[in-house]
Each structure stands twice: as structure tokens, then as C-alpha cells.
Amino acid sequence: MKNSLKKVIVCAVAAIIGIVIANHSDDIRTRERGLEIIGNAEGCRRDPYQCPSDVLTVGIGSTEAGGEKIQHNHTYSDSEIAQRWVNDLITAENCVNRYGNGAKMPQGAFEAMTSLTFNVGCGAMRQSTLFRMANQGYSPAMCDQFLRWVYAGGKKLKGLEIRRRKERELCLTV
């Protein structure tokens, strides 16, 4: 009888964060605290897989939405994963800057907003209450909005609750 289980090839989030910090810190505003929240929530895989939302994904939550194709039968290296992640982070940061007053946000709020945007996409965030509040200027009250984003597929997910609490805490640091 054939084993139908596919081998999962994981990578170390900390190693990818190290590469991003060493080689790409001039390209992104998100720093180690924000990278850790995103990376630890997303996990890291070298082999392409279908995420819970049935989207082809690789590395640290990287999809083809960023414009870069995913090679189905390719095992990605740390440097390839780091580069894809940086490209995706730049997309999320640009969204926060354009629609969420990112340039005027304290570092913690900016990183938290980038993490949420990385996770749910710019389309979902553009008209969000969080971004509307951010456009009025930073306030600790806007950080409570993170706790609303805990559903996927109509279901409340424990992993999203944990991530959103961490993002909220980061948002509150000024």
C-alpha cells in the first residue's frame, strides 16, 4: 500500500528573519518584532502547499498575489523565501502607507498594521474601520480594532485570536 502522505519540508522562521534583517533592512520598515509576529503566525515551508483558504503558498505566507509565480515542484532555499517575503512585506507596507496613514504611525502601530494587512490583504483593509481611524491619526483606541479580525471562512480561529492579541499589543507600543 502506498503512503499518500506528502513530505512537508519546513524552514526556520528565525533564520529567514536573520536573512531579511541582514540583507533587506533598508528595503522595509518592519523590524524584528513585527517580523516575528508575522513569521511565527504564518510558519515557514520550503515546499508549496494549499493554505486553509485553499491558496497556493510557500515560505512565510507567500502567495502568487504578489505577482511572483510559485513553482509547484520546487523546494525553496532560505534566500528565495526571504526575497519572496520581503516582496510581500513591501506590498503590505505600501498598502498601510497609502490607505492607513502609515508614514505617520508610530513604529509599533505601523508594524501591527503591516502584519494584519499581510494576513488579510490590502483589499480587505482599504476601507476598514482600523484604517479609517488611523487616517484620523494614531490613537490607542484604534488598536482594539485588531481583535475584530479573528474569523476565517466564517469561523473564529484560535490562531488568529492569538495573532491579533500580539498585533494589538505591538500597536499599543509607541
DSSP string across 25-56? TTT-S--HHHHHHHHHHH--EEEEEE-TTS-E
- For residues 174 and 45, the model is more confident at 45
pLDDT exceeds cutoff 70 at 3: no
In a domain, 1, yes or no: no
Sequence-distant (≥ 6) Cβ neighbours of residue 133 within 8 angstroms = 139, 141, 142, 145
Residue 98 lies in a domain: yes
pLDDT of residue 1: 45
pLDDT, mean of residues 74-78: 96
Structural domains in the chain (count) = 1
Considering the domain boundaries, does residue 60 fall inside one? yes
| Domain annotation covers residue 8 | no
Query: Residue 76 sits in which domain range?
Result: 13-172
> How far from each other are the two terminal CA atoms of the chain, in whole angstroms?
58
Is 0.75 topped by the overall pTM?
A: yes
Is 101 inside a domain boundary?
A: yes
Q: In this structure, is residue 3 part of a structural domain?
A: no
Per the domain annotation, does 33 fall within a domain? yes
Grid cell digits, residue 165: 492579541
Average pLDDT across the chain, whole number: 94
**Is residue 152 assigned to a domain?**
yes
Active site residues: 42, 51
Split at pLDDT 50, 70, 90, the class of 5 is low
Q: What is the CATH number of the domain that holds 52?
A: 1.10.530.40
Mean pLDDT within 136-164: 95
